[in-house]
Structure 1
Amino acid sequence: MTRLGEIAHALRAASLDGWLFYDFRLSDPLAYRILGLASGGIATRRWFCFVPADGRPRAIVSAVEAHRLDALAAEKIVYRSHAEMVAALRNALGGCRKIAMDYSPGCAIPYVSRVDAGTVELIRSMGVEVVSAADLIQRFEATLSDVQMASHHRAAVGLRRVVDETFEELARRLSDRIACDEASIQDFVMERIGAHGLVADEPPIVAINAHSADPHYAVSRASSAALKLGDFVLLDLWAKEPAPESIYADFTWVAFAGDAIPAEHAHVFEIVARARDAAVEAVANRVNAGRTISGREADRAARGVIEAAGYGDNFVHRTGHSIGREVHGTGANLDSLETLDDRALIEHTCFSVEPGIYLPGKFGVRSELDMTIENGRALVSGEPRQREIVALLPRPTSKA
């Protein structure tokens, strides 16, 4: 079955009359990927592609760029003026009552909110109900092939090795009194990512002490904090294989430069780890029993643990995000805070689980692992997961 045929089949299952794709100046990269279109070349005019649940798809393109959708097996309709474009849309949508577009009501899920409000208003003015294509996007964009899933698992194995190698290197530098700061640690991690045949779109987060209380702390060469005995360090790293369709792995671990973990750090980590495992268990119990669970419900499983411990206000982000060809993918997120993501976590998808507690001016703890759903089973990538703060024990020096 062709991709357009697969879309039509999904539309019938969802009781929708069609899916209207739209782009202006590459405003919707998802449309290109879902339709299997190249996004290169000059793209300065609006185009639409209407895929009906039944019937032949229609491509509405400008006379200036009439070639734009030639790769699709669709009836081509060329417009010159705005009036001709609107007439072509009315004709294509004639008889439709409800269609999907790549938008999200109230921009609740910004990853899929690609169509501007004015274009949605234009379609609604034709008497057509427009609904979000979020679930369809997840099916066609976030669902991974077996080859992609295998690439994720290989990346997870390599990335876990980088975690271990990084902490071993930090212990060595502490022992040998080698100058070490956030920037140099970041450089080491990127070197090891490359050594394992992986790539990353951005360098990792390396955050020492109070910097770890900033969830998306960015290392500055000018103010890179030095690592010394008694310091706490958070390492958040992500990578994938170089092939364009490969899938990321994404982990966060924490460590302490010394052998005696401070009681407050250990206490906060224990809560975060319990929250992480509560979300993992909630997902696994539902999926393994053949039942669905939404990203919103999975988030609540973790958030409830942290709230019960009295740190609810210090958990400032969602529990997890979809993972795909980009580290933040377009599938369901584990989120009941920033958005209310009621999309189900579905078969052959990948997502992170990463609750955190952040104490401004002191430190922050986040523990992140990845999960996949494969053949009706929920699996954790990159085991073993972190069970306690890693103690960066300096090597004992030999006596003369």
Structure 2
Amino acid sequence: MLILQNQLLLMTAISTIQTLLCESNISAWLLYDFRGSNSIAWSVLGIPPESHCTRRWAVVIPAVGEPIKLMHAIENFTLSCVPAREIIYSNRTSWTHELTKIIQQYPTLALEYSPNNDIPTVSKVDAGTVELLRSLGAELHSSADLIQKIQAVWSDEQKSENLSTTAPLLRIIMMQAFQYVRANILAEQPLTEYQVQQFILQLFDKHELETDHPPIVAIGKNAASPHYGPTETQHSPIHRGDVLLIDMWAKGKSPMSVFADITWMGYVGEVVPERAEHLFSVIAAGRDAAVSLVRERFAQGVPVYGFEVDDACRKVIDSAGYGAYFIHRTGHSITHEIHGAGANMDNFETCDRRQIIPNTSFSVEPGIYIAVDIGLRTEIDVVINSQGEVLVPTNPIQMKVLPLLATEVDFLV
């Protein structure tokens, strides 16, 4: 029954892919793999992860017509889950011969590669295979846009769960984490980054949330390393006077639940130092400029691309004199994986020219990292609904660093 259901889902996906290929004037999508080299192909085709694949295979989904699967003679069972016409090859000559026939029929192919490796997450096909296909007459196009439309678009159910449950819960947990820090410091109890991290994970369990990695809890210099994370054996104590960064991401426990991902800043004291407040105001302005650009473009019906969002954010931080300390992209696609298959907000680490489309989500998370003593980041998620409305599911967003030991603190719960 499960195999039948998966095949029905794949047939629906193939129909969608064929529509997209027709719209793009591309003859076919060639999904190629060797020993698990193309995780995108496995995901699109729903190949079970335990499948035994030791030889090259290819699946061709044409814009019009029946899909083809090209498999080695000793592994003709490999793609049993894929509803397609079977072609068997055995040696390198027959592999090339069958590819030649496919290319003669479908000369314009989408493939998991990115020109100049602009989007490394898409570049799954090795250079030698690209050379071979071109030598056989294929005109190759990156499958990046196809991948986004197939793998990064949220269903109505995913949007509903994220907007009504996951994102609001994550913000509540963030505030509870800061309250935990406040209570321990005021009680003069020893406290470490690791303890706060473990407290957050306990709250995830309580609220039926899961994550692929423990949250980041980092003070001062530790926070200047953007992907620092405390462990049981490597962490720092939290004291009065520390600037504290907490970055957490989680999703529901159903297989297709999608992530929410936020970062907030706190200060373990009564009054936030002017320097920390200033640095935060700079990254908050960059964040808001990025979101404003997306809102303006969707309101105008004008396309907006991932690299442009990065530019809008980075321009603000550059203008304030801190561009050299903003050392990562502005944001990433979010799906059932924390780093999803859609457009990233990036013209820094890579150049992502994919269009931001409805029913997708991404983070906006600028930071300033001054290695000697301090790191700050603000992070929100953006969800584009089917009407093109630009939503921020974790509203209200952070406007100032939270003074955790002030007489009155608005924890926004």
CA deviation profile, 1:132-174 (whole Å, cap 9, x unmatched) = 1001110001111111222322211111111010000100000
Show structure 2 runs of 5+ residues with no match.
1-10, 409-413
Q: Aligned with 2:22: secondary structure?
A: helix
2:402 aligns with one of 390, 393, 396: 390
Identity of aligned residues (%): 40
C-alpha contact 1:171 1:395 (8 A) present in aligned 2? no
1:76-115 alignment runs, 5 A limit: 76-115=86-125
Q: Aligned with 2:69: secondary structure?
A: strand
1:90 CA drift (Å): 1.1
Show structure 1 runs of 5+ residues with no match.
none
| Counterpart position of 2:39 | 29
CA deviation profile, 1:304-348 (whole Å, cap 9, x unmatched) = 110110111111111100001110111000011111111111010
Q: Aligned with 1:207: secondary structure?
A: strand
1:253 aligns with one of 238, 260, 264: 264
1:1-400 alignment runs, 5 A limit: 2-153=12-163, 154-374=165-385, 375-393=387-405
C-alpha contact 1:372 1:381 (8 A) present in aligned 2? yes
1:394 CA drift (Å): 6.6
Opposite residue 6 of structure 1, the aligned amino acid is T
Q: Aligned with 2:252: secondary structure?
A: coil
Q: Counterparts of 2:13 and 2:332 in 1: how far apart (Å)?
A: 26
1:395 CA drift (Å): 7.0
C-alpha contact 1:144 1:348 (8 A) present in aligned 2? yes
Q: Aligned with 2:161: secondary structure?
A: helix
Q: Counterparts of 2:128 and 2:250 in 1: how far apart (Å)?
A: 38
Q: Counterparts of 2:388 and 2:406 in 1: how far apart (Å)?
A: 44
Opposite residue 214 of structure 1, the aligned amino acid is S
Q: Aligned with 1:236: secondary structure?
A: strand
CA deviation profile, 1:322-377 (whole Å, cap 9, x unmatched) = 00111011100001111111111101001000011111111111000000110211
Q: Counterparts of 1:324 and 1:165 in 2: how far apart (Å)?
A: 25
C-alpha contact 1:320 1:353 (8 A) present in aligned 2? yes
1:84 CA drift (Å): 1.4
Opposite residue 284 of structure 1, the aligned amino acid is R
Q: Counterparts of 1:36 and 1:187 in 2: how far apart (Å)?
A: 35
CA deviation profile, 1:34-54 (whole Å, cap 9, x unmatched) = 223333221212110011112
C-alpha contact 2:277 2:401 (8 A) present in aligned 1? yes
Q: Counterparts of 1:278 and 1:124 in 2: how far apart (Å)?
A: 42
Q: Using a 3 Å threshold, how does the CA distance of structure 1 residues 28 and 152 change in structure 2: closer, same or farther? A: farther
Greater mean deviation of Cα atoms: 100-109 or 268-277: 100-109
1:70 CA drift (Å): 2.3
Opposite residue 318 of structure 1, the aligned amino acid is R
1:196 CA drift (Å): 1.2
C-alpha contact 2:13 2:150 (8 A) present in aligned 1? no
Greater mean deviation of Cα atoms: 219-228 or 257-266: 219-228
